[in-house]
């Protein structure tokens, strides 16, 4: 069977690798003159800037059977990741299959196959393939917000995907619009060039640091021992049981967790003295007990105006010392999340927090969304304030358009598990699901493994009507978690990283078997208390690779004892009660993993 893979970024490469393993004849069509997708630096196309580094650790970025070299930094520079992708393509004999400078103009059904029209320079040709993988992503056409008066603005308006260096902003007054990861990164980056930097947003966001401890990336904190929690309780746990949030949120779950976890904290008292003491002392806090009977509001309204006011109030006086600056930093993080308008795990995280330190230091000022341009360089914000701004950097994402498909809007809610059009088993969309946390490569690899098995006849999909019902049900559920959010692709494509990855692994048949790991304590410990990364899905079932998994485990840094103690409390003392309550009919307590 001949398969065409559109796009030679990370998603396209892993799709090609798994299709080749099943014996298919594969061709990759890449629009640019090099592989890597967005990780391929080009001055003339959207993608990384010269300063781009990964916001997910290499443990999450790597494919399950192809670990990074140990010498690569935990958060690779874009050049490091591009080298990794090239080595992956070379290892699996993909390089000869890539046809560069091929722009796909159209894709449509043709009998039992797919007709693909391609432009190569001045020539256009058509070919028929029996199956197609669309892995080109949607990062093609920048999304430019329609703001009244923008035609009268005389300053520079540019999109983050097209801004390659801060030198273009040197000495200017700049507004960074948007608070996704590109917005957070550019707000911080531009403080080294612009005279003034303003961060404009219409709502808050969950911000998480890249580092949890020295040599310990923050995404390592997403463990199998913890993420079984139903999401409202996981929200309470994250904000109520973690150090760093001075204005801790009280909840019935936090009280529940403290009581049941007390044996662990007593046992670990000599090692985790401060954390153990904090948990014990919290039992004497009346608010802990009141939370058992008083429902707590988990978030405020999504509001850029209220967020900017709160940030201005918090940072109106400069920090007197490092301890006060650290306190303000954590309070800002909590404030940003409160004004996000959704619970902790129902939205995409921003995994860059340096901009918060810039806010504390007065290098970045938070302003509401832009309401209009008043002519010249005057910009007016939603709260009525006006400023002279030389440059507006729009970190607003991309239009949900695949130019070669008839459908102008790619809405993942219409796809079965974000991969298949109902009723079509020979066309797969790989790399379009957007994880709320974690990273994209583990999802794309699992999607590729699933599609390869479907195409090989090893896995059967439901009938078209069942796929439609499931897609509609999944879409309604995810939309309900983000009420008030504009249903753009980055919202409709958002998935719960751990649950989605584990669900796809069930279809592939490669979930880790914990009982079989009892004879391998180091590996079992890593699966339960280590990062929820792709190495866990090369242990059992489809195409195991223990050598690669053990290399990843061997390269992991030691886990902080405080974190392990918390996870043990959750796994051994809290989870059995949730399982019992779920079996008794209290569905909100049913573990999700």
Cβ neighbours of residue 276 under 8 Å, at least 6 residues apart?
265, 266, 268, 269
Domains parsed from the chain with CATH numbers = 2-141+399-506 (3.50.50.60), 150-202+368-394 (3.50.50.60), 220-297+563-589 (no CATH)
Cβ neighbors of 455 (< 8 A, separation 6 or more) are 1, 3, 19, 22, 24, 131, 425, 426
Residue whose entry in the numeric block shows the structure tokens 């974000």: 418
Those residues with Cβ within 8 angstroms of residue 562's Cβ, 6 or more apart along the chain or in another chain: 268, 272, 275
User: Residues 383, 305: contact at Cβ < 8 Å?
Assistant: yes
Residue 295 and residue 324 in contact, taking contact as beta carbons nearer than 8 Å: no
Are 334 and 353 in contact, with CB atoms under 8 Å apart? no
CB 475 within 8 A of CB 492: yes
d(CA 54, CA 39): 10
Pairing of strands 113-120, 102-110: antiparallel
DSSP class of residue 421 equals: -
Helix (H, G, I), strand (E, B) or coil at 466: helix
> What pLDDT tens digit does each residue of the chain (593 aa) get?
999 999 999 999 999 999 999 999 999 999 999 999 989 988 777 778 888 899 999 999 999 999 999 999 999 999 999 999 999 999 999 999 999 999 999 999 999 999 999 999 999 999 999 999 999 987 778 888 999 999 999 999 999 888 888 888 999 999 999 998 899 999 999 999 999 999 999 999 999 889 888 889 999 999 999 999 998 888 888 776 654 444 456 788 888 888 888 888 888 888 878 778 877 888 888 887 887 777 777 788 888 999 999 999 999 999 999 999 999 998 999 899 989 888 877 778 899 899 999 999 999 999 999 999 999 999 999 999 999 999 999 998 887 778 888 654 456 778 999 999 999 999 999 999 989 889 999 999 999 999 999 999 999 999 999 999 999 898 887 766 665 555 454 557 889 999 999 999 999 999 999 999 999 999 999 999 999 999 999 999 999 999 999 999 999 998 988 889 999 999 999 999 999 999 999 999 999 99
Q: How far apart are CA 112 and CA 107, in angstroms?
A: 14
If we measure between CA atoms, which residue out of 65, 71, 63, 61 comes closest to residue 38?
Answer: 61
DSSP 8-state symbol, 350: B
Q: What is the pLDDT of residue 247?
A: 47
The three-class DSSP label of residue 458 is: coil
CA–CA distance, 163 with 169 (Å, rounded to integer): 9
Which whole-number Å values give the CA distances from 124 to 103, 111, 115, 119, in the listed order? 9, 22, 13, 4
C-alpha distance from residue 417 to each of 411, 510, 552, 570 (Å)? 12, 17, 28, 29
What are the two backbone dihedrals, phi and then psi, of residue 145, each rounded to the nearest 5 degrees?
-60, 145
């Amino acid at each position: 069977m001949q398969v065409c893979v559109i796009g030679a970024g990370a998603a396209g490469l892993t799709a090609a690798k798994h299709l080749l393993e099943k014996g298919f004849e594969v061709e990759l069509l890449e629009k640019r003159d090099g592989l890597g997708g967005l990780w391929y630096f080009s001055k003339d196309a959207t993608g990384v800037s010269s300063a781009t580094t990964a916001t997910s650790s290499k443990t999450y970025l790597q494919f399950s059977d192809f670990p990074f070299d140990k010498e690569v930094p935990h958060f690779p520079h874009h050049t490091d990741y591009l080298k990794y992708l090239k080595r992956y393509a070379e290892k699996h004999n993909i390089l000869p299959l890539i046809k560069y400078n091929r722009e796909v103009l159209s894709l449509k059904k043709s009998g039992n196959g797919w007709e693909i029209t391609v432009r190569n320079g001045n020539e256009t040709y058509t070919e028929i393939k029996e199956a197609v993988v669309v892995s080109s992503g949607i990062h093609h056409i920048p999304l430019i917000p329609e703001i009244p008066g923008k035609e009268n603005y005389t300053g520079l308006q540019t999109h983050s995907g097209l801004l390659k260096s801060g030198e273009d902003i040197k000495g200017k007054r700049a507004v960074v619009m948007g608070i996704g990861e590109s917005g957070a990164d550019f707000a911080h980056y531009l403080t080294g060039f612009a005279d003034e930097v303003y961060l404009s947003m219409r709502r808050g966001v969950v911000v998480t640091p890249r580092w949890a401890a020295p040599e310990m990336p923050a995404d390592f904190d997403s463990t199998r021992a913890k993420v079984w929690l139903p999401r409202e309780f996981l929200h309470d746990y994250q904000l109520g049981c973690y150090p760093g949030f001075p204005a801790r949120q009280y909840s019935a779950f936090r009280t529940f967790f403290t009581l049941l976890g007390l044996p662990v904290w007593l046992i670990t008292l000599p090692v985790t003295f401060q954390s153990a003491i904090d948990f014990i002392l919290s039992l004497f806090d009346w608010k802990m007990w009141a939370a058992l009977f008083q429902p707590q509001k988990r978030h405020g309204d999504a509001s850029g105006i209220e967020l900017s006011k709160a940030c201005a109030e918090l940072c109106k006086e400069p920090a007197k010392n490092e301890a006060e600056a650290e306190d303000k930093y954590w309070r800002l993080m909590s404030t940003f999340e409160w004004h996000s308008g959704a619970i902790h795990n129902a939205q995409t995280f921003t995994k860059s927090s340096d901009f918060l330190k810039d806010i504390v230091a007065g290098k970045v000022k938070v302003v509401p969304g832009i309401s209009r341009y008043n002519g010249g360089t005057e910009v007016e914000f939603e709260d009525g304030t006006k400023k002279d701004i030389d440059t507006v950097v729009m970190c607003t994402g991309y239009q949900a358009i695949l130019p070669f498909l008839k459908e102008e809007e790619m809405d993942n809610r219409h796809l079965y598990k974000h991969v298949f059009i109902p009723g079509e088993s020979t066309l797969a969309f790989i790399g379009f699901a957007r994880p709320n946390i974690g990273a994209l490569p583990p999802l794309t690899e699992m999607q590729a493994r699933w599609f390869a098995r479907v195409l090989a006849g090893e896995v059967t999909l439901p009938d078209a009507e069942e796929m439609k019902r499931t897609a509609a049900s999944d879409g309604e559920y995810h939309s309900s978690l983000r009420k008030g959010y504009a249903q753009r692709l980055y919202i409709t494509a958002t998935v719960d990283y751990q649950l989605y990855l584990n669900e796809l692994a069930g279809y592939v048949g490669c979930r880790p078997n914990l009982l079989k790991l009892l004879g391998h304590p180091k590996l079992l410990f890593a699966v339960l208390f280590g990062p929820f990364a792709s190495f866990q899905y090369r242990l059992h079932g489809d195409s195991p690779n223990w050598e690669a998994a053990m290399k990843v485990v061997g390269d992991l840094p030691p886990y902080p004892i405080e974190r392990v103690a918390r996870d043990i409390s959750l796994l051994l003392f809290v989870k059995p009660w949730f399982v019992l309550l779920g079996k008794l009919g209290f569905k909100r307590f049913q573990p999700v993993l």
